[in-house]
Structure 1
Amino acid sequence: MATAATKRRQNERAEFAQGVPKVPRDPAARMIDKLEMFIALAREQHFGRAAEACGVTQPTLSAAIKQLEDQLGVMLVWRGSRYGGLTPEGARVLDWARRIVGDTRAMRDEMRAAKRGLSGNLRLAVIPTALAMVGALTRPLAARHPNLRFSVLSRNATEILQMIDDLQIDAGITYLEGGAAAGRMTAIPLYAEHYNLVIRADHPAAARAQITWAEAAELPLCLLSPDMQNRRIVDSHMAEANAAPAPRLESNSVLTLVGHVLGGDWATILPMKTAALFLAPDHLAAIPITEPAAEHPVGLIAPFREPHTPVLAALIEAARRLEER
């Protein structure tokens, strides 16, 4: 599967084939290339995988890292028979590399937008329970900017933060609680999750107006996997109710959970915005969960960088319009 870096290089080659003059790689451009390879190595923690992600051979990547070390006068990577991690100096250079490469991409995107209008690929990573609302952001942008493309990945909250740091995505939609992104991310609230028990419409509890967390814990549950923040939220509310659920199935896929609920005597717990996608055919019922009646804010996060790229600025503007509704 082609990586983002490989696709970017393919796009550049396509532009050259269409008559865009190819500019020789000057020392500054070569330095950016080395910093991108260094970021990839820190992310992949493996020389071979990092080389593949950058679309170069492993010897090329290794030589670039060595040249970067020679230019900076410090060792960046502990080496043995394999990658051994970053040195303290390497960790500091990684911060600078992300900043320099991010700013360089932002500058290139702004110049491209000035010449051609808003175009390119907007990369988003989204927690599974928020995938249902992504269209509220992407549809208006697509209508206003026909040359804009979108990549949407399902990831957990921790992965989204890391992918933003590693410049793999432009922005994420995730939980705003916990403070992990505080001070280093632009954060725009979009909505609050409210939790519902989702069961078959013919389940004995389907006619109830509400159900408690403790009662929900007694049902044969299928829940999101423990690496998902939604699952940690559900577990915390169960604990508040002195309940100890023992889910019979765990998955990182909402579709897997809903499929099991539809196919048998299972139940799951989902935010209402997600559950609503599956309620229309009247096969399922969603019952609000109380004691406590909890809500948790979800929003857009993006790197705290000024100026933002034109594409990211348009996304943030769309998110703020959605917030105001």
Structure 2
Amino acid sequence: MFLRQLTYLIALDRYRHFSRAAESCGVSQPALSAGVRQLENELGITIIQRNRRFYGLTEEGKRVLLWARQTLAALDGLKQEAAFAQDIAGGSLSIGVMPPAIQIVPLLLETFRSVVPALHVEVKVYSSAEILRLLREHHLQLGIMYLDQLPEEGGFDAQILYPEQHVLAAAASVPLPAGRYCSWADIAALPLCLLSRNMRSRQLVDAGFREADVTPTVMLETDALELLHAELLGGRLASILPVAALPERIGPSGLQIRRINGCASPDVGLVRMTQPNSSMLLTRLWDVAKTFNVADIYTV
């Protein structure tokens, strides 16, 4: 079966005349008739009611016509996607991401490259405030940050990626409270390594301690997730981190975790500047990002 045979069938239904249908397809009438007969032979059914003239489609032919329309519409969509990918094959994208969300970037890029395989991406780590500034100055095209940090006056579009959940994490050698949950008072009794105070994630943690009226025992503060991960996996200190910022090794051979009672869960999302004439690339990727959902992955 050839696609042109389906094209012949659609043309016949439209023009209701063999000669005019053949002319619209750019072939001779005998070629069109032969193509339709070949389609009938391949399917083993009669599609066209005919003598020397076109009298319409049989009931089986009407059902084949529906499939023909769907098939050619799908092919047209495929051609558009291919043309789009070819047009922007050399496209580049710059993304700013806050440190606690850095580990979701490979998942997001995998989604982007499913439609733009040759996409070139530059990813840099910034605070939420820096991401907003660099978006305004057009040094970044997309940002991943806390959505409660967006300015009230607007100017930005946003999509929620996941609600951030903080958890207590420690190696199996560190004694943690029994059960799935713990309190801020339980955590304050442990030696901790935390993110730096200028980071929004740490500010949420500090707010939890203040509201519980307890003072934590902080042994290390850093803006480097790699250092926190090393301390955690080494069994030296416990930490409070977003689920998205945990090292991969969780369980018997890695970390034990506890949910925290009364901990804020701000939304983390994808942000861009509001622009009336966004590029074709950015518009496409923004639409693709709407299918990107990691809420289940980063919830325990």
Normalising by structure 2, report the TM-score.
0.65
Whole-angstrom CA distance in 2 between matches of 1:166 and 1:213: 40
Does structure 2 conserve the Cα–Cα contact (< 8 Å) formed by 1:258 and 1:268?
no
CA distance in 2, matches of 1:124, 1:179: 17
Whether contact under 8 Å (2:128, 2:149) holds in the other structure is no
List aligned pairs for 1:295-306, cutoff 5 A: 295-306=265-276
Q: 1:163 Cα deviation (Å)?
A: 1.2
Q: Which amino acid aligns with 2:273?
A: P
Instruction: Decide whether the 8 Å contact of 1:206 with 1:286 is kept in 2.
Output: no
Larger helix proportion of the pair: 1
1:159 is paired with a residue of what secondary structure? helix
CA drift at 1:281: 7.0
Equivalent pair of 1:175/1:296 in contact (CA under 8 Å): yes
CA 1:170–1:179: 2 relative to 1, 3 Å: closer
Q: Give yes or no for contact 1:176–1:299 (8 Å, CA) kept in 2.
A: yes
Aligned residue in 2 for 1:245: 216
2:287 counterpart residue number: 317
SS of residue in 2 equivalent to 1:169: coil
The structure 1 residue matched to 2:147, chosen from 150, 173, 176, is 176
1:167 maps to 138
**Offset from partner CA, 1:6-55 (integer Å, 9 cap, x none):** xxxxxxxxxxxxxxxxxxxxxxxxxxxxxxxxxxxxxxxxxxxxxxxxxx
Amino acid at match of 1:140: T
- Which runs of no fewer than 5 residues in structure 2 stay unpaired? 1-83, 296-300
- The answer on whether the counterparts of 1:206 and 1:285 sit within 8 Å (CA) in structure 2 is no
Deviation of 1:234 (Å): 0.9
Matched with 1:202 is 173
Q: Residues 317, 221 of structure 1: CA spacing in aligned structure 2 closer, same or farther, 3 A cutoff?
A: same
Mapped contact 2:99–2:225 kept (Cα < 8 A): yes
Q: What does the per-residue CA deviation read over 1:64-94, in whole Å, with 9 as the maximum and x for residues that have no partner? A: xxxxxxxxxxxxxxxxxxxxxxxxxxxxxxx
| Partner SS state of residue 154, structure 2 | coil
**What percent identity do the matched residue pairs reach?**
30
Give the aligned partner of residue 20 of structure 1. Answer: none
Counterpart of 2:268 in 1: which secondary structure? strand
- Which has the larger Rg? 2
Provide the residue aligned with 1:213 in structure 2: 184
Distance change >3 Å, CA 285–CA 206, structure 1 → 2: farther
State the Cα distance separating 1:174 from its structure 2 match: 0.2
Cα distance in 2 between the residues matched to 1:133 and 1:115 = 27
Hey, what does 1:110 align to over in structure 2? Answer: none
Q: Which runs of 4+ in 1 moved over 6 A?
A: none
Distance 1:324 1:216 in 2: 27
Tell whether the 8 Å contact from 2:170 to 2:235 is kept in structure 1 after alignment: no
Provide the aligned C-alpha RMSD in A.
Answer: 2.4
CA distance in 2, matches of 1:208, 1:163: 43
SS at match of 1:288: strand
Q: For 2:284 and 2:206, how far apart are their aligned partners in 1? A: 36
Counterpart-to-counterpart distance in 1, 2:209 and 2:251: 28
Structure 1 unaligned segments of length 5 or more: list them: 1-112
- On the 8 A contact 2:177/2:186 being kept in 1, the answer is no
Equivalent position of 1:150 in the other structure: 121
Size of the aligned set, in residue pairs, is 213
Note closer, same or farther for the CA distance 1:279–1:214 as it changes in structure 2 (3 Å cut): same
Asked if 1 retains the 8 angstrom alpha-carbon contact of 2:173 and 2:235, the reply is no
The 1:179/1:116 distance shift into structure 2, 3 A limit, reads closer
Once the two structures are superposed, residues 122-161 of structure 1 have per-residue CA deviations (whole angstroms, 9 ceiling, x without a partner) of: 1111111111212232102113212211111111111111
Taking the aligned partners of 2:111 and 2:289, their CA distance within structure 1 comes to: 10
Distance 2:284 2:89 in 1: 9
1:279 aligns to what SS in structure 2? Answer: coil
Whole-angstrom distance in 1 between the partners of 2:276 and 2:85: 17
Q: Distance in 2 between matches of 1:116 and 1:220?
A: 55
Contact 2:167 2:260 in 1 (8 A): yes
Q: Which residue is equivalent to 1:192?
A: 163
Q: Which residue of 1 aligns with 2:203?
A: 232
Distance 1:135 1:206 in 2: 34
